[in-house]
Amino acid sequence: MRHDAGLALPFVTTVNHLFAADHTALKLRSGLACARLSGPADHRRRRCSLSPRAARTRAPSFRRHASMDLGQPSDTKTEDSLGKDKAEKGLQKIRRALVSVSDKASLREFAQFLVGHNVEIISTGGTAEKLRGYDVPVIDVSEYTSFPEILDGRVKTLVPKIHGGILGVRGNASHEEAMKLHSIEYIDLVVVNLYPFEETVRNDGSYEACIENIDIGGPTLIRAAAKNHASVTVVTDVHQYSDVMADMNDHDGCTTLSLRKRLAAVAFSLCASYDSSIAAWFMEGLGKPFPDRITISGRLKQRLRYGENPHQPAAFYMDMRGTICPGVATAEQVQGKELSYNNILDTDAAFRLVSEFTEPACAIIKHSNPCGCATGVSSEDAYLRALACDPISAFGGIVALNRKIDKAVAEQITKAFTEVVIAPDASAEALEVLSEKKATRVLLTGAMPDPRAQLQSFRSVMGGFLVQALDTKMVTTEELKIVTKRTPTENEMRDLLFAWKVCKHVKSNAIVYARDGATVGIGAGQMSRVDASRIAAWKAQEASRQAEEDTSRTAGSVVASDAFFPFVDGLVAAADAGATAVIQPGGSKRDAEVIAAADERGIAMVFTGIRHFLH
């Protein structure tokens, strides 16, 4: 979905994303070295430690600079130049910080850095205990406010002395008078993480556990600090520690207005996303998939080189609204070039298709349409049968498997140019074989998605967007209605159900010819159904000709149509191609004519009563 850059949308992006090019320079200057740990994409954290440079300069030199008043001359800056810097950059000295975090990664280094700059630290519960364990001087919130934590910790920072200190406007005479009257002092830095609500939901937490993990104080502190970013620095993620440290190093313990604005933007985005996830969870529990108001919550996974075309900017986000299904968004990329926008779309289409099958299956996708799909006794067998459907179109395509990649199928895949291979897992031998094609992207998801999962899809339109449930409808033999004189044979029925599954994943108008559990001809995305039928038959003839086969592969095949035949010409085209059985929704006012044409040609036909349009 397209979003205008100026809209305040609840997409969670780390400060790394918003800072763009200057962020790298800030990190290098800060001396905080970060490394990404392995793990599921949506749960990865960065563990940070001070670099040798920062460790050497942390305490004594920081204290020397921190003790300087911005209005006093120094060895390097005059009083006038400092005043000019402060005015131009909106510098704000960090003297007091409130720190309350659930993610305690890099807390020790950051807290010690603050102490080195003579920053007074106020903290809560577990965070305060952890800081004392690091020998970091800390004041408990309850001691600072003279108000105890109550209601099992539900109320600890929701007091005027905290929020007054955050929201008070520097230089506002009435604010300063009120703060003096109530003994409220300014808080310059707020460092807060939120309770892990989304993680609790993903881990199937109980209703009570989910409710307890709805953070109240955290978002309130974050929003207050972000609102008053003219004077207050708000930090919501460990990734941001390095940027604050760099700014304070470069500006004698101050932060710049530009940094505070960026951090505030991230903070509001985080709160919006957090609330969006909570609202979505409530609505799902109430059975209301389409509430009066809806928000989309996502976390930046990848900034893409471009979108469908080089002139279109694009990015890839993780869906944070609920349970995350295995797929391209959660997969681990173990080799290959960076995924492109089109790679992601096609890979998703391929993996969705193979998830329909319980037996070993392979789908080869090009431009979001299957150019071959098959089941087999093994992944290698399924791949070769899928490839045979349209080997020319498969060049540069996406290969999806629903089984662990073994050496045999890997060797077959590397014989052709393949953009992406996606599967739940891969053997070491298979990965070694695939590594010979260094540019091929290999994605491992760890599991297969549930094809019946009740998920939603979003499509943008001018001035709005459409939301619908994904097409997860399946049919069984018992649900089919035989409408012709001839009943499909057992083999035909198996192929009809196979073709129907594939047809659901082909752009409309869609026609799929199949035989023995493999597609033999696919007609996709045509404006008329008869053209789709003719194209699919022509594709099959071409594949047969290249394989030097005597007859077209559509001979003795079955055919699936994603919607009803509005005229008999589509069915006649299928019969002329050699199809012996048809599966379609039915429901046309000309059904009787189509059925009569099928009977006249000895074709068996079944109605599903279900349409599978795909646009």
Residue 145 DSSP class: H
CB contact at 8 A, 91 and 251: yes
Q: What is the reported pLDDT for 88?
A: 60
Phi-psi domain of 325 (left: phi exceeds 0; alpha: psi -120 through 50; beta: other)? beta
Q: What is the percent of the chain where pLDDT is above 70?
A: 84
Confidence of residue 454 (pLDDT cuts 50, 70, 90): confident
Residue 289 DSSP class: S
The single-letter code of the amino acid at 392 is: I
Mean pLDDT is lowest, of 203-212, 226-235, 604-613, for 203-212
For residue 343, say if its preceding peptide bond is cis, omega within 30 degrees of 0: no
Whether 323 shows a pLDDT value over 80: the answer reads: no
Confidence of residue 292 (pLDDT cuts 50, 70, 90): confident
CA neighbor of 565 nearest in space, from 512, 523, 509: 509
Q: Where do you find CATH 3.40.140.20 in the chain? A: 326-444, 476-607
Average pLDDT, the chain: 84
Give me the catalytic one of 77, 89, 104, 227.
227
Q: What is the reported pLDDT for 84?
A: 55
Nearest 5°: phi and psi at 58? -60, -60
Mean pLDDT is lowest, of 143-157, 327-341, 382-396, for 143-157
Confidence of residue 8 (pLDDT cuts 50, 70, 90): very low
CA neighbor of 563 nearest in space, from 593, 595, 521, 607: 607
CA neighbor of 394 nearest in space, from 380, 381, 384, 408: 384
Confidence of residue 347 (pLDDT cuts 50, 70, 90): very high
Whether 26 shows a pLDDT value over 70: the answer reads: no
Residues in Cβ contact with 173 at an 8 Å cutoff, skipping those fewer than 6 apart: none
Could you give the angle at which helices 379-389 and 529-546 cross, rounded to 10 degrees?
110
CB contact at 8 A, 590 and 568: yes
- Hey, is 385 helix, strand or coil? helix
**C-alpha separations of 287 from 280, 281, 283 in Å:** 10, 10, 6
Q: Where do you find CATH 3.40.50.1380 in the chain? A: 11-35+45-67+81-285
Q: What is the reported pLDDT for 288?
A: 82
CATH for 476-607, among 3.40.140.20, 3.20.190.10, 1.10.10.10, 2.40.170.20? Answer: 3.40.140.20
Is-catalytic flag, 367?
Answer: yes
Whether 51 shows a pLDDT value over 50: the answer reads: no
Strand 11-12 with 298-303, pairing = parallel
Q: What is the reported pLDDT for 153?
A: 67
What average pLDDT score do residues 274-288 get?
85
Confidence of residue 221 (pLDDT cuts 50, 70, 90): very high
> Which tokens sit at 206?
């109980």
Whether 1 shows a pLDDT value over 70: the answer reads: no
Confidence of residue 386 (pLDDT cuts 50, 70, 90): very high
CB contact at 8 A, 429 and 407: yes
Indicate the Cα dihedral angle 230, 231, 233, 234, nearest 10°. -70
Residues in Cβ contact with 327 at an 8 Å cutoff, skipping those fewer than 6 apart: 348, 351, 352, 445, 449
Residues in Cβ contact with 61 at an 8 Å cutoff, skipping those fewer than 6 apart: none
What average pLDDT score do residues 108-118 get?
95
Residue 422 DSSP class: E
CATH 3.40.140.20 fits 326-444, yes or no: yes
Residue 319 pairs with which residues in a beta bridge? 298
For 172-200, the pLDDT digits (tens) are: 899 988 889 888 999 999 999 888 888 88
Higher pLDDT, 204 or 97: 97
The single-letter code of the amino acid at 591 is: D
Higher pLDDT, 146 or 3: 146
CA neighbor of 116 nearest in space, from 67, 159, 163: 67
Q: What is the reported pLDDT for 156?
A: 66
Whether 39 shows a pLDDT value over 80: the answer reads: no
Q: What is the reported pLDDT for 43?
A: 37
Give me the catalytic one of 65, 163, 261, 367.
367
Q: What is the reported pLDDT for 133?
A: 93
Confidence of residue 317 (pLDDT cuts 50, 70, 90): very high
What is the assigned CATH class of domain 11-35+45-67+81-285? alpha beta
CA angle 480, 483, 487 (to 5 degrees): 80
CA angle 421, 423, 427 (to 5 degrees): 95
Most confident range, picked from 148-157, 265-274, 420-429:
420-429
In SS3 terms, 520-533 reads as: EEEECCCCCHHHHH
Whether 65 shows a pLDDT value over 80: the answer reads: no
Q: What is the reported pLDDT for 579?
A: 95
- For the chain, give the number of residues: 615
Is-catalytic flag, 23?
Answer: no
Q: What is the reported pLDDT for 287?
A: 82
Q: What is the reported pLDDT for 58?
A: 39
Residue 13 pairs with which residues in a beta bridge? none
Mean pLDDT is lowest, of 361-370, 379-388, 407-416, 458-467, for 458-467
**Helices marked H in 50-183 — which ranges?**
52-57, 60-66, 79-89, 107-116, 125-133, 141-145, 160-167, 173-181
For 594-608, the pLDDT digits (tens) are: 999 999 999 999 999
